[in-house]
Amino acid sequence: MTSVSNPPEIQYFNRLSGQTEIEKVYGDWFIRFLYTSGAGQRVGGVFTNKYFSKLYGTFQDLPSSHKKVRPFIDKFNINMDEYEPGSRPSLDPRDSYRTFNEFFIRRFKLGKRSFVAEPHRMPAFAEARYVGFDAVSEKNVYPVKGHFLKPQELLGNHQVAKVFEGGPLLIARLCPVDYHRYHYPDGGRVLDNFRIPGAYDSVNPLALRFKNQIFIKNERHVSILQTENFGRLAYIEVGAICVGKIIQTHRWNKPFLRGEEKGYFLFGGSTVVVLGERGAWKPSLDITANTEKGIETYLHLGAEVGVKP
């Protein structure tokens, strides 16, 4: 078993810098304890249920939690020039958030992100670290050898899953330091939406190495979308440890536009999974190439994440 004191580094390819970088992990000691030590695995159930995550999320809403914001920004070198300030009057935007959760769901300033507009190009629906496959099959395993993601397991519904068998797959992992709002990748309408109850394990790659069924065991919110350019999509928001809530800001019974906000995660690292119909589109080449190497690709919200063949 991997030692808690010597965990593997998490590497990812940064499309913006063109370099492979090492991730700074928030709460890395806790993740290492929980998933790489015998003691952590024995008590893991205490921390990976919804009650702990909701309680932890409640603390991020307390007025005293605003004291955590500035140290967090400084430790992870977050560029606050890109974000709208909070509701607390302050000369320094780092001190303008009344709670940690207000900071956590901060919005980008107008013009700081744009969505690719060409109909054949799919824009990134989250600012995140991506893995992707042209077609879901037993040949494509993630995150570890011997396990792959099946539409039926992800969606919990055999009839709905048939639509997406053999289709493309994207997984967008949002770290606690990231922008935590997620968006629609195209215009269209919602055909169906439902919630699948489950656990709240970490979606950190280290956790996935030791517990490879997290994406099909964690709580999930599923929306089946009919899009203008990419056919039907299964859009799945996955809860994770310390995610207080998954909030839907767009009313599901109203049409949506490309780039429009769909919702957000309150405190914690979290994931969005998108499944497509066979042959309708495929992930961008650098994403699939890096996935084959076993690393994620970091890109900005709205950048190209997929293309029509």
Indicate whether 142 pLDDT > 90.
no
Who's near 155: CB < 8 A, 6+ residues apart? 161, 164, 196, 222, 234, 236, 275
Residue 130 near residue 172, CB atoms below 8 Å: yes
Q: What is the pTM of this model?
A: 0.84
Give the tokens for residue 242: 């310390």
Model confidence over 91-112: pLDDT tens digits? 999 999 999 999 999 999 999 9
Annotated domain spans of the chain: 23-104, 121-307
Mean pLDDT of the chain: 82
Q: What is the pLDDT of residue 232?
A: 98
Indicate whether 47 pLDDT > 50.
no
